[in-house]
Amino acid sequence: MKNKTKRYITGFDGLRALAVIGILLFHLMPTKIFGGWLGVPLFFVISGYLITDLLIQEYDRTGGIAPLQFYKRRLKRLYPALIVMLLITTAVILLFDKELMYNLRYIILTNVTYTYNFWAINNGQSYFQQFAGESPFTHLWSLAIEGQFYFIWPFIVWFLLKKNLKKYHISLTLLIISIISALLMGILYHSSAINRVYYGTDTRIFAIVIGAALAFVWPSMRLAQYPKKEIRRYLNAIGTGAFIMMVVGMIFLNGQAAATYKGLMYLFTLDVAVLVAVTAHPASWYSKLLDQKVLNYLGTRSYSIYLYQLPIFIFYEKFIPHYQPTLFHMVIEVVLVFLVSELSYRYIENVFRYGVQWHQVNDWLLRSRNRFFIVTTPITVFLLFIAFGLTDKRAGLPQPPTQLQQKLTKNITEVDKRNKLADQEEKASKHEKKMGVSQKLSKEDQKIVSDYHVKPTQYLAFKAMSFTAIGDSVMLDAGPYLQDSNPKIHVDAEVGRQAYQATDIVADMAQNDKLAANVLMGLGTNGDIKRHDLDLMMKSIGKKRQVYWMNNFVQSKPWQNSNNQMLEAAQKDYKNLHVIDWYSLAKKNTNWLADDGVHQGQIGDFNYVRLLIEKTAEVNHIK
């Protein structure tokens, strides 16, 4: 048996820092740093490598692995900070945001048992969800997967090493398992049910397994024996390529794109595994480049930063009146995250990780009765407050659907039913044009003119037009009102739809001749609209159709202004593209909106349709 001391791997704290920086930037600027969430696979690879490497070293030193000691070390490292974060976040919810109380017992229970990801698949929000009372616990799914890995991995490593299997055979087997996991992700992926593959242990474990596979063929103790000059040039070149690809992925890899789940995430993970391998080698330039004070500072505190960043972002943005994602607010949010994380690192992580002499604490407390009560009373009151708060029946119930959610669910059924009638009306209208259409208002028409406050001539012209409407939940919100005003409007709107997802929808409709003479677009609520995607849609629609595009009113989101500016610029390049300024009207009349400040109330729906009618009249020179 060998008796070697463990080697501290310089550069790994730097990698952790890069991972958590990516995650922070993604949550702050999701339309600029699309792939910042990929910091999690980087964390997974590092964990898989380090844990496996340490277990192999333990086996080499002692001839066995002590699972209980391993669990004790892991719990001391991870559990205290997690528990404190759960308690503090729960206290904030109980005091200031009772809407988040629903399911709170289950959320806490599944987090302390490292099973939260299983619960989140069926009960949690999508990691990319934007409008539905975002949960401050959503990010904890990754800790659950790591916890499950820690639970079973010591036994698996012991079994593999006990069998005296060749290390590269073990590594190859693990790589095959990682490929199976990635294939499952691609097979099970569905855009409307992303939680299954995003949170699933079976579909996300490949990153940890890749790190583990690396440890069997690239053990840190063996690397320390290699001469530096023989491999430095190759390591640096390979590391530079991997580093560049990692940065590109963190900027551009969209977490809601199908391609991400059908291979790109796996390729990204392989890339960062290469970077981990290069950094682990003491001859590598990256082992020194990433060993800098600032990066080491962030890396050593990355666990606490990860724990607290999402709760702080969510609560700050919720409690600040009229929050706007400006640089000023972002700086404050980051400072708050760093301050809280520093406190957590110093007084929770380090105290439990490096040991605390509890008998000394006990002696110190008991020396003075006043001191004992001064210290223990607020802690006891705090814990009793949490316990009492969790007895609220809401903490054990799923959140009931909001009025908006009920409305959108009802609208889906209503719109689908009316779409069949719209298709029939479109066919009938072509026949009526040949026969001649009456230009007189019926009683129903007169009511609509009155309800929507439009001129009769404008409405009659609008009613004679046929539309295909393609959009997201804001359009779905107004769907029945659109179809009330004009039965020849076919609405294809979906909650959570992104602009890039509509490119295929538009292309398919155009190819199958299902686009009407006029197309109403309502996209951009959930993310940015890329000019490239707009160009693709305009190309599919063609120059003969008129396109009316509602711009965005989503004040709390950073993509609102860039979307609206891009639409204005595109309008100058396409003669058949007409932007409808919903933003300006909604901004002046926020009382027309639902509680989320984005979707419409009834008055908002009426005015959404009114804007469309008036815009069609303007385009067609009807007064």
From the list 547, 402, 585, 399, the residue with the least C-alpha distance to 477 is 402
Is the pLDDT assigned to residue 535 strictly greater than 60? yes
Q: Which residues pair with 492 in a beta bridge?
A: 470
Cα 567 from Cα 179, distance rounded (Å): 42
Cα 291 from Cα 346, distance rounded (Å): 21
Q: List all residues 6 or more positions away from 436 whose beta carbon is below 8 Å from its beta carbon.
A: none
DSSP 316-345: HHHHSTT----HHHHHHHHHHHHHHHHHHI
Higher pLDDT, 236 or 371: 236
Cα 289 from Cα 312, distance rounded (Å): 31
Q: What is the pLDDT of residue 32?
A: 86
Q: What is the pLDDT of residue 437?
A: 46
Give the residue-averaged pLDDT of 382-404.
Answer: 89
Which amino acid type is present at position 600?
A: Q
Which three-class secondary structure state does DSSP give residue 492? Answer: strand
Q: What is the pLDDT of residue 435?
A: 40
Render pLDDT for 279-336 as a digit per residue (tens, 0 to 9). 999 989 999 999 999 999 999 999 999 999 999 999 999 899 888 889 999 999 999 9
Q: What is the pLDDT of residue 94?
A: 96
Give the residue-averaged pLDDT of 591-612.
Answer: 94
Cα 504 from Cα 506, distance rounded (Å): 5
Q: Which residues pair with 580 in a beta bridge?
A: 550
Render pLDDT for 538-582 as a digit per residue (tens, 0 to 9). 999 999 999 999 999 998 788 899 999 999 999 999 999 999 999
CA 44 to chain CA centroid, nearest Å: 17
**What are the two backbone dihedrals, phi and then psi, of residue 518, each rounded to the nearest 5 degrees?**
-125, 140
The answer to whether 301 and 308 are in contact (CB under 8 A) is no
Q: Model confidence at 7, in pLDDT bands (50, 70, 90)? A: low
Which amino acid type is present at position 513?
A: D
Q: What is the pLDDT of residue 377?
A: 81
Which amino acid type is present at position 515?
A: L
Is the pLDDT assigned to residue 466 strictly greater than 90? yes
Which amino acid type is present at position 573?
A: D
Give the residue-averaged pLDDT of 172-197.
Answer: 94
Is the pLDDT assigned to residue 228 strictly greater than 80? no
Q: List all residues 6 or more positions away from 300 whose beta carbon is below 8 Å from its beta carbon.
A: 13, 16, 345
Cα 487 from Cα 508, distance rounded (Å): 23
Task: Give the end-to-end CA distance of the chain in Å, rounded to a whole number.
Answer: 93
Give the residue-averaged pLDDT of 593-612.
Answer: 94
Ranges of H-type helices in 29-103 = 39-62, 67-96
Pair of tokens at residue 155: 């036994």
- Give me the numbers of helices (H) and strands (E) for the chain, helices first please: 30, 5
Q: What is the pLDDT of residue 511?
A: 95
Cα 616 from Cα 469, distance rounded (Å): 14
Geometric angle at alpha carbon 431, from 429 and 434, rounded to 5°: 110
Burial status of residue 112 (CB atoms within 10 A of its CB: 0-12, 13-18, 19 or more)? middle
What Rg do the C-alpha atoms of the chain give, in angstroms? 29
**What are the two backbone dihedrals, phi and then psi, of residue 246, each rounded to the nearest 5 degrees?**
-65, -45
63, 64, 65, 66 alpha-carbon torsion, rounded to 10°: -110
Q: List all residues 6 or more positions away from 566 whose beta carbon is below 8 Å from its beta carbon.
A: 529, 531, 534
Is the pLDDT assigned to residue 390 strictly greater than 80? yes
Length of the chain, in residues: 623
Give the residue-averaged pLDDT of 416-433.
Answer: 72
Burial status of residue 350 (CB atoms within 10 A of its CB: 0-12, 13-18, 19 or more)? middle
- Best-predicted range by mean pLDDT (49-53, 414-418, 452-456): 49-53
Higher pLDDT, 365 or 206: 206
Q: What is the pLDDT of residue 227?
A: 67
Q: List all residues 6 or more positions away from 281 whose beta carbon is below 8 Å from its beta carbon.
A: 223, 226, 231, 235, 287
Largest CA distance in the chain: 101
Cα 431 from Cα 414, distance rounded (Å): 26
- Cα distances (angstroms) measured from residue 80 to each of 110, 112, 144, 344: 16, 10, 15, 9
The answer to whether 612 and 548 are in contact (CB under 8 A) is yes
Q: Model confidence at 1, in pLDDT bands (50, 70, 90)? A: very low
Q: Is 133 left (phi over 0), alpha (psi -120 to 50) or beta?
A: left
Average pLDDT of the chain to the nearest whole number: 91
Q: List all residues 6 or more positions away from 213 whose beta carbon is below 8 Å from its beta carbon.
A: 48, 170, 171, 172, 174, 175, 178
Pair of tokens at residue 199: 């949170």
Render pLDDT for 111-143 as a digit per residue (tens, 0 to 9). 999 999 999 998 877 766 655 558 999 999 999
Query: What percentage of the chain carries pLDDT values higher than 90?
Result: 75
Which three-class secondary structure state does DSSP give residue 486? Answer: coil
Domains of the chain: 12-356 (no CATH), 403-619 (3.40.50.1110)
Pair of tokens at residue 59: 């086996």
Q: What is the pLDDT of residue 523?
A: 97
Q: What is the pLDDT of residue 623?
A: 79
Residue 362 CB: number of other CB atoms within 10 A? Answer: 11
Is the pLDDT assigned to residue 3 strictly greater than 90? no
The answer to whether 48 and 209 are in contact (CB under 8 A) is yes
Q: Model confidence at 167, in pLDDT bands (50, 70, 90)? A: very high
Q: What is the pLDDT of residue 355?
A: 66
Which three-class secondary structure state does DSSP give residue 417? Answer: helix
Q: What is the pLDDT of residue 434?
A: 45
Which three-class secondary structure state does DSSP give residue 600? Answer: strand
Which amino acid type is present at position 439?
A: Q
From the list 67, 84, 79, the residue with the least C-alpha distance to 143 is 79
- Cα distances (angstroms) measured from residue 84 to each of 112, 228, 348: 11, 44, 8
